[in-house]
Amino acid sequence: MKRTATIDRKTKETQIKATVDLDGTGAYAIKTGVGFLDHMLEQLARHALIDITLEAKGDLHIDFHHTTEDSGIVLGQAVAKALGDKQGITRYASIDLAMDETLTRAAIDVSGRPYLIWNVTFTQPKIGDMDTELFREWFQAFAQNAGITLHITCLYGSNNHHIAETCFKALARALRSAIAIDPRQAGRVPSTKGTLSI
């Protein structure tokens, strides 16, 4: 069964279309109009081995908030749709991810119960043109719409670019492991309830 999905979402603030293949090779074609966000979503695709095509047109003349948040919404919805009833997935994963002086932990439960714990502090208000406060908005939108419990903790780090990048890379590697098919599950949903739904 192919685990792919496309979401096309249009509002007065943004128009975003995204396609994901959860069993891809990490290929990507991403264009949000926000350079640093593109860079982070490319990291997500590459390290999760999820093929992602995403094009966004947003009200960037106001700021980057709507485009950032809505890209998280659309990608989260696409991942949830591609996962279907979640039969056979590993479900849980965590990783400590290092990048130079920074170490960030991501722990995930593909539970159908969305929740974000965000223990990340930036020391600068911007990375390039992007407000650092928007990273939490993206992760919140993604977790909520993917239906996952997600804990992101930057254990230490001083370079704000590295802090942001390790958050996305840690999510990518944890997500890659959590959505992987576990052959020992024999197609079962990994829950004693028999269902993992939003």
Q: Is 195 within a domain?
A: no
Cβ count within 10 A of residue 116: 16
Residue 155: in which H helix or E strand, if any? Answer: strand 149-156
Whole-model pTM: value is 0.95
Number of domains present in the structure of the chain? 1
Encoded tokens for 60: 């960037």
Each residue's pLDDT tens digit, 72-96:
999 999 999 999 999 889 999 999 9
- How many helices (DSSP H) and strands (DSSP E) are in the chain? 4, 10
Q: What is the pLDDT along the chain (198 residues), one digit of tens a residue?
A: 799 999 999 999 999 999 999 999 999 999 999 999 999 999 999 999 999 999 999 999 999 999 999 999 999 999 999 999 998 899 999 999 999 999 999 999 999 999 999 999 999 999 999 999 999 999 999 999 999 999 999 999 999 999 999 999 999 999 999 999 988 877 777 665 667 675
Q: Is 193 within a domain?
A: no
Q: Is 167 within a domain?
A: yes
Boundaries of domain holding 92: 4-185
Q: Is 191 within a domain?
A: no
DSSP H helices in 49-159: 65-83, 134-146
- Residue 142 sits in a domain whose CATH number is 3.30.230.40
Q: Is 18 within a domain?
A: yes
Which of 172, 21, 188, 22 minimizes the C-alpha distance to 89?
188
Q: Which residue has the tokens 């996962």?
A: 83
